[in-house]
Amino acid sequence: MSVEHAAVQRADFDQVMVPNYAPAAFIPVRGAGSRVWDQAGRELIDFAGGIAVNVLGHAHPALVGALTEQANKLWHVSNVFTNEPALRLAHKLIDATFAERVFFCNSGAEANEAAFKLARRVAFDRFGSEKYEIIAALNSFHGRTLFTVNVGGQSKYSDGFGPKITGITHVPYNDLAALKAAVSEKTCAVVLEPIQGEGGVLPAELAYLQGARELCDANNALLVFDEVQTGMGRSGKLFAYQHYGVTPDILTSAKSLGGGFPIAAMMTTEALAKHLVVGTHGTTYGGNPLACAVAEAVIDVVNTPEVLSGVNAKHDKFKTRLQQIGEKYGLFTQVRGLGLLIGCVLSEAWKGKAKDIFNAAEQEGLMILQAGPDVIRFAPSLVVEDADIDAGLDRFERAAAKLTQA
């Protein structure tokens, strides 16, 4: 049974929404795989993936089926009770990772908030009130709550909201000497993204993560990996830490975990998890049956040799073509990243003009992303078809040609 809805247009956003976003001029209304259609029926190829969220594209039948089945059973019961989808999903995440315990919430910021609170609580319980300092990387991004935005190393996001949370230090990413100089007996956690996402799609060096692990061990501090953007197959492994062979104490996941349905997770060991006793932390919607049912379907599809090996093959296809486009048009000088989280670093002539490239791509029917003003970011579906990769990059090249000829 169809329902009649009132007609709305992009102009309505400016009338009814808080102006903290600046959405594109068109409104997507339908998606299938890696294609999206707007209100006018225009087709676009989606290489943005809802900012690394739509891990299986749009309207994937396994996810639609899981959501529909659960929607006819149970939507919400709160954490006064547990539920079957949450328990099944937790088992699957534990079986696939270092983790022994899982906390479910709704967003990457919430997962990181829980991780940082856990790190401080562990240090408080074990070593006392003076061990609370968190060390994070400059240009990192960990969310928009007051705690997480302060841990994130970008003052443009944290300035202007009153006194900042104390006990947080920022050091340059991939600089082990700077990290070593900052860690002390007061450090409760070192927080890192294995690949900086918003900071420019910048992968960590192996020695950096290994050194961070050693520094944490030597100073009774916890190593926290924020895999909100890199998790759930995005890197070509289920989680990026598995590329490096460096195991964190706490790991956060969101974005791709639900394939578009809001869900996040903080994963850790039994020994650390026991510090969050009943009443110390919570969330009304965390572990929602609908979200967990969808996420269970996501992991069932993604955590397979076919999909994960396909991610690496598709990475090579993207990188080869993007390097050719970069060289031909002089737009960017480097293509970096892992799996299907790819960043193109703009050349000197195009520094600061990522938004112009974003707009030009949209005009050619292609959805892409920025990672700051100097990097173009691609985060497509992990199962994007080769024909869509070719067609999308054709559109990207047409955009590059028009920009450089203008």
Q: Which residues are annotated as a binding site for pyridoxal 5'-phosphate?
A: 108-109, 141, 226-229, 284
CA distance 300 to 25: 36
DSSP states along 72-126:
TT-----TTS--HHHHHHHHHHHHHSS-SEEEEESSHHHHHHHHHHHHHHHHHHH
* 133: Cβ contacts below 8 Å, ≥ 6 apart: 167, 168, 169, 184, 186, 187, 188
CB atoms within 10 A of CB 291: 26
Fill in the amino acid letter for 391.
A
- Which segments are annotated as binding site for N(2)-acetyl-L-ornithine? 144, 283
The answer to whether the beta carbons of residues 359 and 368 sit under 8 Å apart is no
Angle between helices 354-363 and 386-405 (to 10 degrees): 120
- 137 vs 322: CA distance, rounded Å: 28
Tokens of 180: 């070593």
Binding-site residues from annotation: 108-109, 141, 144, 226-229, 283-284
Distance, in Å, from the CA atom of 331 to the CA atom of 354, rounded to the nearest integer, reads 10
> In angstroms, rounded to a whole number, what is the distance separating the alpha carbons of residues 118 and 268?
10
CA-to-CA dists, residue 217 to 189, 207, 223, angstroms: 10, 15, 9
Cβ–Cβ under 8 Å, residues 78 and 401: no
H helices of 275-385, in order, are 289-302, 305-329, 354-363
